[in-house]
């Protein structure tokens, strides 16, 4: 359960140097890997199904990395959502087909919804002069829900549509640019 104290802790972690945030994320990720057996089994089962050619060792290593990356991304929200704008600019770089994102032509971007979503959201809304739209799932924990909504809208060019609203509002927003 996410509490205000946990959120304060994450916010304070955002003030630390990035290598220290990464180290704390590694520790938390390993603790989660060791402590949450049921989720570890889910990740391993999915990896075995997706990569049947992988050995048990390869699946175990990838599972550990998944837990570590998840924990690091969770702690990154401290600097993504509460660090200085200059800090985010220093740490986030958009690469690839950036020219395709310029202008206001409706553009659909498929993003991973697990680890890098919030870093990408901050980079896009901070560094690109356009508006963005995304789907959002309401969280059952109202403290967590308010925290995520505020963080994801930090730079103000993101409109979040509730998943329960369906895709019609998103399509309408795309048509409006």
Q: What DSSP assignment string belongs to 135-161?
A: EEPPPSSHHHHHHHHHHHTTTS-EEEE
Same domain for 177 and 149? yes
Domain final position from 83, 117, 151: 83
Rounded distance, CA 23 to CA 29, Å?
A: 10
Mean pLDDT of the chain: 89
Residues 110 and 167 in one domain: yes
- Listed range (72-76, 89-93, 102-106) with the worst mean pLDDT: 102-106
Residues 44 and 109 in one domain: no
Final residue of a structural domain among 49, 83, 117: 83
62 and 99 housed in the same domain: no
**pLDDT digits 0-9 by tens, 88-100:** 999 999 998 888 8
Q: Is the pLDDT of residue 67 over 90?
A: yes
Q: Please check whether residue 89 lies inside any domain of the structure.
A: no
The answer on 37 and 105 residing in a single domain is no
100 & 152 share domain = yes
Tell me what percent of the residues of the chain surpass a pLDDT of 70.
97
pLDDT-derived band at 1 (thresholds 50, 70, 90) equals low
**51 and 112 fall within a common domain:** no
Neighbours of 33 (CB within 10 A): 21
From 31, 53, 83, the end of a domain falls on 83
What's the CA gap between 56 and 44, in Å, rounded?
Answer: 9
Residues 163 and 142 in one domain: yes
H helices present in 105-141, as ranges: 117-127
Return the biggest CA–CA distance within the chain: 50
Split into its structural domains, the chain has a count of 2
Q: Which of 72, 68, 171, 80 is nearest to 120 (CA)?
A: 80
Tell me what pLDDT residue 164 has. 82
70 inside domain: yes
51 falls within a domain: yes
Quick one: 51 and 119 in the same domain?
A: no
- The confidence band for 107, taking pLDDT boundaries of 50, 70 and 90, is confident
Looking at residue 89, its pLDDT comes to 95
pLDDT at 141 over 70: yes
Beta bridge partners of 57: none
Q: Cα–Cα distance between 176 and 19 in angstroms, integer?
A: 42
Please say whether the beta carbons of 4 and 143 come within 8 A: yes
Give the lowest-confidence range in 19-33, 58-72, 85-99.
85-99
Range of the domain at 34: 1-83
């Amino acid at each position: 359960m996410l509490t205000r104290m946990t959120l304060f802790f994450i916010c304070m972690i955002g003030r630390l140097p990035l290598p220290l945030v990464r180290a704390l994320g590694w520790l938390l990720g390993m603790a989660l890997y060791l402590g949450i057996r049921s989720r570890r089994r889910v990740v391993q089962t999915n990896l075995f199904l997706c990569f049947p050619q992988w050995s048990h060792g390869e699946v175990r290593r990838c599972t550990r990395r998944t837990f570590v990356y998840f924990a690091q991304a969770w702690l990154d929200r401290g600097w993504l959502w509460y660090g200085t704008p200059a800090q985010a600019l220093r740490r986030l770089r958009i690469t690839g087909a950036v020219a395709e994102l310029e202008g206001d032509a409706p553009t659909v971007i498929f993003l991973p919804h697990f680890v890098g979503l919030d870093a990408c959201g901050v980079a896009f809304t901070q560094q690109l002069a356009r508006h963005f739209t995304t789907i959002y799932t309401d969280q059952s924990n109202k403290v967590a829900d308010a925290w995520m909504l505020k963080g994801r809208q930090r730079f103000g060019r993101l409109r979040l549509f509730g998943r329960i609203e369906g895709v019609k509002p998103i399509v309408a927003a795309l048509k409006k640019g």
